[in-house]
Amino acid sequence: MSPNSATPIVLDGHFLPQEPAISVDARQAIPTAGEDLLERIGSDLYRIASMLLGEGEDAVALIEEVITHLDLDSPGAHEDLRHHARLALSGKAIALLHQREAASLAAPDEDSIASGPVSCIEDDDLDAAGLTPIQFEELLTGPDRNRLRDWLLSLSSALRVIFVLRAVAALTSAEVAGLLAENASPEAELWTPEAVRTTFRQALCSLASQLIHASASR
């Protein structure tokens, strides 16, 4: 299923802006000592939100809502805080996508998974698509980012959400299945970790084919 007006994505080729547009109110909610961490988390969230929702007011509003409720003074590593922020943003983005077009995130039934096309990739990680983390980062922010944008636009909403949350937000299949079921039900309540893994492998296979085609055309 191709993206339509119900699930717009307007990326303009910029997945990671230099500085997300965080409002004054959101900044004032964070102590001065945490501003640097705020900026890093804000940029990280904007990358994810722009891939899911497009570079517009919806993405910025969700980021501000998540950041305003972050507790930067809580004990624990910054990576834990970043992970918590990614989970919160992802859930809100899924709910918004579900509001735009409920059926777009519907869970596949078991028969369709079992009888679906065999993926060209057996493992559900970027290495299986021939990409190291550094190469994937270059693909996100380098001169070929427009090609990745076009590829993302060609995916169905479910494929795009699962790819972004697994590959970019670094969430587990169980976390993604839980977020879909919680925020896009009843259509998505039957998503399972195995269904997420299968769908992610399909997206990785599509990405690998896209990279091979791009390499051959140079």
CB 148 within 8 A of CB 136: no
- Residue 112 predicted with pLDDT over 70: no
The per-residue pLDDT of the chain, averaged, comes to 78
Give the pLDDT mean for 151-180.
94
| Closest of 76, 66, 6, 12 to residue 41, by C-alpha | 66
- Residue 137 predicted with pLDDT over 90: no
- Higher-confidence residue of 212 and 45: namely 45
CB 176 within 8 A of CB 196: yes
- Residue 150 predicted with pLDDT over 90: no
Confidence of residue 169 (pLDDT cuts 50, 70, 90): very high
Percent of the chain with pLDDT over 70: 72
Give the pLDDT mean for 159-179.
95
pLDDT in tens, 64-85: 999 988 887 765 668 889 999 9
Report the range of poorest mean pLDDT among 140-144, 164-168, 175-179: 140-144
Rounded to whole angstroms, how far apart are CA atoms 165 and 148? 15
What pLDDT is attached to residue 191? Answer: 96
- Residue 114 predicted with pLDDT over 80: no
pLDDT in tens, 6-47: 333 333 333 333 344 445 454 444 444 467 888 889 999 999
| Ranges of each domain in the chain | 24-216
pTM of the model: 0.78
* Distant-in-sequence, close-in-space partners of 87: CB < 8 Å, separation ≥ 6: 171, 175, 179
Highest mean pLDDT among 9-18, 28-37, 108-117, 185-194: 185-194
- Residue 172 predicted with pLDDT over 90: yes
Rounded to whole angstroms, how far apart are CA atoms 133 and 112? 31
What pLDDT is attached to residue 19? Answer: 41
Residue 147: left (phi > 0), alpha (psi -120 to 50), or beta? alpha
